[in-house]
Amino acid sequence: MRLIEVRLYEGPNVYRLSPVVKVEVAVGRTHAWHGSRTEGDETLVHLARTVPARDWPDPVADIVAWTRRLRADHGEHAGPVEVHRATDAGRWVVTWPWAGAERTRAIAEAAFDLAARSVSAARHVHLTGTQAGVVARWTARIAEALATPPSWIRDEERRIPVISITGTNGKSTVTRLITHILLRAGHRVGTTTSDGILVDERIVDAGDWTGPGGAAAILHRSDVDVAVLETARGGLVLRGMGYQSNEASVFTNVSSDHLDLQGIHTLPELAEVKGTVCRVTKPEGWVVLNADDRFVVALARRVRARVALFSMDPDGSPVVRRHRRTGGRAYGLRGGVLVEWEGGVPADIVAVTDLPVALGGLARHNVANALAAAAGARAMGATLAQVADGLRDFRPSADLSPGRMNLFRVGDRVVIVDFAHNEAGTEAILEVAAGVARAAEAVLGAGVPARDPVTAIIGTAGDRPDDTLLGIGRIAAERADRVAIKETPAYLRGRDRDGLVALLRDGIRAGGGDPGEVPVYEGEERALEAELAASDGPGVVVLFCHAERDAVFALLARMGARPVDVSAGLAGITSQLAAPDTA
């Protein structure tokens, strides 16, 4: 038996909606996970499902026995000790509630050590002198340990309402949209995103604050009256949520991203982890689910709150039609208009052509994000008129939504700076680029037939699985006319640079591109500068920007780039590109 980890969750997590300790061990033969990300029996493993005692291997049963004995000896009786199967073959997870961090960790380490030494936990069994000495040492250590309580914020300690946003793609944009709607509706809004902690859309602390630390920072402030909290996978699997419950939650989607980390290999498992955000929503609250994502909408059976669904095809979705027939709240796109259904009655919200974030409907992923944001804002009490006002006013600019579909004009070229970092994000932003290229070609002169050329500068973090890296390269080669690779040394995350580039190149080859013609640059600023210098003809350049956003924006400013106002959609973009570039 081998110890994988002892982890203390400070708040709600995939196993329970309260603090628990997780002891993960490997028993017997183990091997690396392999299988389908979406289909097959291997996706049926439910991380939170408990395993009956008859199915425990002996070493795991010994850990449970010692845990129960040591907890009882030191006055801990709250909650049962439970066993779960991990996805990885041969791995097991033991969990139980905790109240004191140091003491709990000592109990966990002692239970594993004593079980690994085959020391019996039965009180009537005679121990050897050596075994008795080990037990005595652990007992003393546990007795001397501190008992720092969990840091989560209980409901009675929280004074403001919370809406939590999770998902693979779109959660930052949805968080920003909801924030903007509520701010214009008169609220003082505290927000956490992967860009930082914001108060009324102003960053007060830069950095990735999508975990429990960011939530605590907002919930302890006295200058906000509502919290809009982006909640990422990392915080959920490493520490749990930082608060006991929320009034509303939004789950945008799941796609292949951050897989093969912390034992999460499939989309159903990823949905189960992220679904913690929805499972804590209060019964009188609202859970907003993407009905177009089967792994997300399946969560409707596991939440205690009311459910609102959103869909890009509300009339074609059997799930949404059934939900509407039974009087449920739903949001969808019908005839180019965002619509809310309540009690079976439709109400128009706003036309897609009036949404700057949607580029006149070209950015379909942002139409879906607008639907999610509308549902989320309504769940927090905004009126339909306030939702429409906020959506009309929000722009995907470097100020309001930095690094999310920011468009600039540099001479006869359009530069799109975006945070795309997985296959779904790559498809979405290159679909936008193709549409912008068609608009640019109409006014900036001859490119390839039907549109100007698109250059994709791709790259992502090294902790993505091989199939994700291959997919990004393949999609870029299929959708763009030219592909370049940018390296981001700070985001290698354990993978070597040559290996990461090789997988992207293999994906490019699979997409019909020639890897030998793909330049590789170190850094995002250098990559963009080089690609803009490589040609002065019309075109669209898409930069996947993850680490050097400020430097990239500074470079564009030095080059005289002008932000493209997307408020009038493609027609407005076309008119701006038709105007002489006086920069």
Report the pLDDT averaged over residues 518-529.
94
Q: 17 pLDDT band (50/70/90 cuts)? A: very high
Least confident of 190-204, 383-397, 436-450: 436-450
Q: Is 272 helix (H, G, I), strand (E, B) or coil?
A: helix
Exposure class string for 410-439: b at 16+ Cβ within 10 A, else e: bebbbbbbbbbbbbbbbbbbbebbbbbbbb
Predicted confidence (pLDDT) per residue in 82-101, tens digit:
999 988 888 999 999 999 99
pLDDT at 578 over 60: no
Percentage of residues in the chain having pLDDT higher than 70: 91
Could you report the per-residue pLDDT of 423-449, keeping only the tens digit for each? 888 999 999 898 888 876 655 554 444
CATH number for region 406-578? 3.90.190.20
Residue 37 pLDDT grade (very low, low, confident, very high; cuts 50, 70, 90)? low
- Is residue 320 within 8 Å of 342, Cβ to Cβ? no
Q: How many CB atoms lie within 10 A of CB 183?
A: 19
* Distance from chain centroid for Cα 41: 25
C-beta atoms surrounding 538 within 10 Å: 21
Pick the more confident residue, 89 or 358.
Answer: 358
| Backbone φ and ψ of 468, nearest 5° | -70, -45
User: What does DSSP assign to residue 161?
Assistant: -
Q: Could you give the angle at the alpha carbon of 36 between the alpha carbons of 92 and 461, nearest 5°?
A: 85
pLDDT of residue 448: 41
Q: What is the residue extent of each domain of the chain?
A: 2-144, 155-393, 406-578
Residue 356 is predicted with a pLDDT of 93
Mean pLDDT of 307-316: 97
Task: Select from 98, 94, 71 the least CA-distant residue to 1.
Answer: 94
Is 402 in a helix, a strand, or coil? coil
CATH assignment of 155-393? 3.40.1190.10
